[in-house]
Amino acid sequence: MIRNRVTTDRAIRTALPAEAADVVALHARARATYYPDGLPQDGTDWLAAWKSALARPDGRVLCVVEAGRIVGLASFRPPEGAPADTVKLFQFHVDPDHWGRGVGTALHAACVEEWQADGRRTAVLDVHVDNRRAQRFYGRQGWVPEPAGPGDHHLTMRLPLTAE
């Protein structure tokens, strides 16, 4: 487990269950940027989903806090049916008002540090095919796309966590 990272005005720490509403609000702001017709209304209860993620004993939600406000978050855990040395990044969001300020890079580095400390050898994620900005970000961090499935609206990416 990583220790809380604190810089002059930025801290990276585990998100708290009491912060679920703030997490949901950030999640919605970030997702809205890659849906040209607005967020899909698929019936998902995002508050319940994030409360569940925050309470999972097998997962973590890290957040970046600046000036007392959550401006970035990452949710990860072992994916079902995968090898024990694999971790899946389920959600990774930075408040659009904080893009280009190093929030995502710092949060990603904290995730990788934790995954490596936990003995993970591979990380995987799914990113929306229309979210080119996120795909470029992940590519700069070393993630590699896997072949797409037919008709899938997500791209799977993989990050080796050990030197080859």
Delineate the domains of the chain, giving CATH numbers in brackets. 5-160 (3.40.630.30)
Measured CA to CA, the distance from residue 86 to residue 93 in angstroms comes to 21
Task: Check residue 131 and give its pLDDT.
Answer: 86
Chain centroid offset of residue 129 CA: 16
Contact 123, 89 (CB under 8 A): yes
Q: What is the pTM (predicted TM-score) of this model?
A: 0.89
In which region does residue 49 sit, left (phi positive, over 0), alpha (psi from -120 to 50) or beta (all else)? alpha
Measured CA to CA, the distance from residue 93 to residue 127 in angstroms comes to 11
pLDDT tens digits, the chain, 164 residues: what are they?
555 555 558 999 999 999 999 999 999 999 888 776 777 788 889 999 999 999 999 999 999 999 999 999 999 999 999 999 999 999 999 999 999 999 999 999 999 999 999 999 999 999 988 888 999 999 999 999 988 665 578 899 999 998 55
